[in-house]
């Protein structure tokens, strides 16, 4: 979900136990922190 310069996403895969995030965790990122942005129209 796009909120201006921020994006809110959800982790959709299982991560190894050493990660802080779990499946279905919500994360908020700044546009500048994205490594890949799909070219949706």
Read off the pTM.
0.47
What is the band of 2 on the pLDDT scale with cuts at 50, 70, 90? low
Asked whether residue 18 is domain-assigned, the answer is yes
Q: State which residues form the domain around 9.
A: 2-33
What's the mean pLDDT when you consider all of the chain? 79
Judge whether 38 lies within some domain.
no
The backbone torsions φ and ψ at residue 33, rounded to the nearest 5 degrees and listed phi first, read -90, -10
* Alpha-carbon radius of gyration of the chain: 12
23 falls within a domain: yes
> Domain for residue 40, yes or no?
no
Residue 14 within a domain = yes
Mean pLDDT of 2-9: 75
> Percent of the chain scored above 70 by pLDDT?
78
In a domain, 41, yes or no: no
31: phi then psi, degrees, rounded to nearest 5: -55, -40
Name every residue whose Cβ is closer than 8 Å to that of residue 13 and which is 6 or more positions away in sequence.
Answer: 23
Tally of structural domains, the chain: 1
Domain-embedded: residue 39: no
């Amino acid at each position: 979900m796009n909120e201006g310069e921020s994006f809110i996403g959800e982790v959709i895969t299982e991560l190894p136990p050493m990660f802080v995030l779990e499946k279905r965790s919500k994360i908020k990122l700044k546009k500048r922190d994205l490594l890949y942005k799909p070219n949706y129209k």
